Chain A
Amino acid sequence: MVISPRDADDARMSTLDVRVWRGGAEGSFQSFEVPRHESQTVLDVVTHIQRVLEPALAYRFACRVGMCGSCAMTVNGVARWTCRTHVDQVAADGSLEIAPLRNLPVIRDLVADMREFFHKWAAARGAFAPTRTKRDDFARVAPESAARRAIDAAIECIGCGVCYGSCDVVTWNPDYLGPAALNRAWTLVQDVRDGARGERLAAVAGDAGCQACHTHLSCTERCPKGISPTAGIAGLKRAVAAAALRGKL
């Protein structure tokens, strides 16, 4: 529903039917009626419920401007960053179902436990391994080099977990490192300054790593930052296979 200024007054009168997950792994949806506003985001809706209707509702957010990656939830069945998802985009019929992110344990209500998600970044060797010290000169990386361009395409990840909550392979194989951790590893594999390429390729190979990806593209379709983890994972598959063929895995 797109609201024109003419019927904005009517819209302000109208309400949304919102069903919100309450509880942990076991629980149920609770219904709320929330006043409709122009330019309202899904996070605004949740905040209204918590401030006005149900103070005990647990949810997570910080920046409200699409930077921190903490507000992801499942909205009408699809993982989204709620602070930058307008109600207009997702609730054409005036109803919303808001649940915690999939593929992660639920702490309470809309709060998913992100620990496993970030453990996997560490398991995929997502930390930069420097090869120089502060006494060395700056590394010179040509902005137009292929490696640097590949990094540019993948580096803006905010760690929101939307991709992770959208990936069926994570559902099927809970050990799978998942799109975000592999995307992070890909940026480091492309980084000429990094000194842990071999260990990283070994860490991301295998049937809990890049080779498990089915190229479903759900992560790519849903990533709010327009990143394609699928492309990075395909790059990792090639890099890992090349290393194996050279006997370096």
Chain B
Amino acid sequence: MRSRAETWLWIAQRASAALLALCVLVHLATMIYAVRGGLSAAAILGRTRGNVAWLAFYSTFVLAATVHVPIGLRAALGEWLGWRGRSRDAALVAFAALLAVLGMRAVLGVFA
């Protein structure tokens, strides 16, 4: 049993979950504000472009998801499909990279 590595994965998943809970709340509030305020796409872009605080927040959001989702999937793959070992971890590193790239691409698309 790789106790230490597994424990750090567990800590990372709990910490990212806490971060995600906060991010989702802020994100929902922002969505409601934008929709209720009837902001147009152009108005939204006007606020996000070049906004460093916005960039920092959504980058955190994407990275938290990148950490959280693959660790959860790791347990699900092991328990439900019996997929364990190196091949599973390699596949999940690739999946995490994909999440990070797609997420950051979207964030940068609205920032730049």
- Residues of chain A touching chain B, judged by Cβ–Cβ distance below 8 Å, are 169, 172-173, 202-203, 205-209, 211-212, 237, 240-241, 243-245, 249
Contacts and interface: CB of A to CB of B under 8 A. Distances in A.
Given A172-B79, A172-B80, A212-B75, A207 B6 contact: yes
B86 interface: no
Interface stretch (B7-15, B45-53, B54-62): B7-15
Nearest to A175: B1
B1 A245 contact: no
B36 interface: no
A211 B4 CA distance: 12
B33 to A, nearest CB: 35
Contacts, number: 49
Nearest to A245: B11
A176 to B, nearest CB: 9
A38 B2 CA distance: 54
Interface residues of B, number: 14
Interface of B: 1-4, 6-8, 10-11, 14, 75, 78-80
Given A241-B7, A244-B11, A206 B78 contact: no
Contacts of A169: 79
Given A209-B1, A241-B10, 5 more contacts: A202-B3, A205-B3, A207-B75, A211-B6, A211-B10
A120 to B, nearest CB: 12
A249 B1 CA distance: 13
25 contacts: A169-B79, A202-B3, A203-B1, A203-B3, A205-B1, A205-B4, A205-B7, A207-B1, A207-B6, A207-B75, A207-B78, A208-B1, A209-B1, A209-B3, A211-B7, A240-B7, A241-B7, A241-B10, A241-B11, A241-B14, A244-B8, A244-B11, A245-B11, A249-B3, A249-B7
Contacts of A172: 78-80
Interface of B is mostly: helix
A172 B10 CA distance: 19
A177 B3 CA distance: 13
A41 B4 CA distance: 47
Contacts of B75: 207, 212
B10 A173 contact: no
Contact of B6 (A173, A205, A243): A205
Contacts of B80: 172
Contacts of A243: 7
A249 B4 contact: yes
A243 B6 CA distance: 13
